[in-house]
Amino acid sequence: MSKARRKREKPISTGSIAFRIGLGSGLNLLLIFIVLDLVVLGILLLPDLKNGPGAAEITIDSFNALKALLREWKLDILLRLEGLLVVLWVLFETLRVRAKLSPLQEFADAALKLSEMDGEAEQRYQKLENAIDMLSPAEDDQKLATGDAELAGLETAVNKLMARMRDSYRQQARFVSDASHELRTPIAVIRGYADMLDRWGKTDEKILEESIQAIKDESESMQHLVEQLLFLARGDSGRVPLNISGFDLSEMMQEVWEESVMIDKAHDYRFESGGNIPVCGDISLLKQAARILIENASKYTPEGGEIMLKSLVADGHPAFSVQDSGIGISESDIPHIFERFYRADDSRSKQTGGSGLGLAIARWIVERHGGHFEIVSRKDIGTRITVILP
Ligand SMILES: Nc1ncnc2c1ncn2[C@@H]1O[C@H](COP(=O)(O)OP(=O)(O)O)[C@@H](O)[C@H]1O
Ligand SMILES: [Mg+2]
């Protein structure tokens, strides 16, 4: 902060400004009175001037005679009255203008006060600056505290901001570490099979085939994982654009249903249309969200189980749902299933492939559309996940 002292200006006084304006206005009134008086005088003197000597020959005598005349006509009282009126007018105008200018005076006073507080404020900011300098962004329990009561509000705001930044930093760090961990596993598997190939694959046909298949599978799932990670990373940095268009939600769900029937013969897919449901959104992203729900339903439902897709209007909102007859999700897992890399223990033990990123992606898509999820699930009975759009 600059230490240069600002030059103290003399404060404005609205009183003297008001007096000058009042005086000007009084002089105007005086001028009007003089003109009027001259006119009146002219009219009164007109008969005498006609008979008497010419106006050019007015002398001391005639001036005294005029004064006497004025007194006789009681005009001197009028003149005094006019003088009094002018004085009163100046006073009145001064007071009126001063009242009008009073906000300006307050403003000037406040500015003066502020400039007087300058030094004090400077010290305070210096203290605040030092306190901020001392903060370390990594240490969680560190808080900004100068002990100055007047800075308490500012401190709370800075502390809240720091907490949010630390939170997002922690999330990012966890994401990177989880992602590396997830990628390490398929790489280790591929290396293992490559070693096996190297040792025995040249002679043992069975090992050769097994290894090639495993390497193919692992690299495929790794590719899928990398694509999911890229999607979320792009989403985090705001680089997934939405291509908004109007379309029929029922048509979209029908297409996804037909696709599922074709790809997955192991389950009994049904579709119930809610009629024409016009929505605005990115159809390919919403389809992707529906596919993620269907993929889970299929993964966590025994072969032959029924999977019901629906398009519907829920409380006036367009919606679609995927209901399965699978293993269900325990109540304690439900709050976490949308977290990145979260997988319920049951799903892990089933040895189904998966990364725990599917629902995180679905949530990103749905939230970008301003929508939300509703989940109903019973252990060993099934799960229904509904996406409700605005
Ligand atoms: N239809 C479902 N039935 C049972 N569990 C489910 C279902 N959908 C999701 N889950 C649970 O939520 C977790 C997260 O799902 P998801 O993010 O798609 O990851 P992934 O399917 O790769 O494990 C799953 O591991 C599973 O435990
Ligand atoms: Mg999944």
Is any ligand 1 atom within 6 A of the Cβ of residue 324? yes
* Rounded Cα distance, 56 and 35, in Å: 20
Asked whether residue 211 is domain-assigned, the answer is: yes
Domain total of the chain: 3
Asked whether residue 222 is domain-assigned, the answer is: yes
Asked whether residue 117 is domain-assigned, the answer is: no
Same-domain pairing of 170 and 224: yes
Identify the CATH number of the domain in which residue 162 sits. Answer: 1.10.287.130
pLDDT at 9: 54
Q: Are 329 and 383 in contact (CB under 8 A)?
A: yes
Asked whether residue 293 is domain-assigned, the answer is: yes
* Rounded Cα distance, 330 and 332, in Å: 5
Ligand 1 center from residue 348 Cα (angstroms): 10
Closest of 16, 18, 34 to residue 85, by C-alpha: 34
Closest residue by Cα to atom 4, ligand 1, is 328
Same-domain pairing of 377 and 256: yes
Same-domain pairing of 261 and 225: no
Same-domain pairing of 220 and 256: no
* Rounded Cα distance, 357 and 338, in Å: 8
Same-domain pairing of 250 and 363: yes
pLDDT at 247: 97
Is any ligand 1 atom within 6 A of the Cβ of residue 383? yes
Same-domain pairing of 98 and 161: no
Identify the CATH number of the domain in which residue 374 sits. Answer: 3.30.565.10
> Which domain-ending residue is among 108, 123, 141?
108
Asked whether residue 331 is domain-assigned, the answer is: yes
- Helix, strand, coil tally for the chain in percent (to 5): 65, 10, 25
Same-domain pairing of 340 and 275: yes
Same-domain pairing of 230 and 249: no
pLDDT digits (tens, 9 = 90+) for 238-282: 889 999 999 999 999 999 999 999 999 999 999 999 999 999 999
User: What ligand is nearest to the CA atom of residue 340?
Assistant: 1
Asked whether residue 252 is domain-assigned, the answer is: yes
Confidence of residue 150 (pLDDT cuts 50, 70, 90): confident
Q: What is the mean pLDDT of the chain?
A: 87
Percent of the chain with pLDDT over 90: 52
Mean pLDDT, range 19-35, rounded to an integer: 90
Same-domain pairing of 200 and 307: no
Same-domain pairing of 323 and 260: yes
> Which domain-ending residue is among 211, 236, 261?
236
Mean pLDDT, range 151-163, rounded to an integer: 87
Asked whether residue 118 is domain-assigned, the answer is: no
The string of DSSP letters for 212-261 reads: HHHHHHHHHHHHHHHHHHHHHHHHHTT------EEEEHHHHHHHHHHHHH
Query: What 8-state DSSP symbol labels residue 59?
Result: -
Ligand 2 center from residue 312 Cα (angstroms): 23
Is any ligand 1 atom within 6 A of the Cβ of residue 347? yes
Same-domain pairing of 54 and 165: no
Is any ligand 1 atom within 6 A of the Cβ of residue 323? no
Its pTM stands at 0.65
Confidence of residue 57 (pLDDT cuts 50, 70, 90): low
Ligand 1 center from residue 356 Cα (angstroms): 7
Same-domain pairing of 229 and 262: no
Domain residues for 300?
A: 245-388
Mean pLDDT, range 15-38, rounded to an integer: 89
Q: Are 248 and 276 in contact (CB under 8 A)?
A: yes
Asked whether residue 134 is domain-assigned, the answer is: no
> Which domain-ending residue is among 236, 264, 296?
236
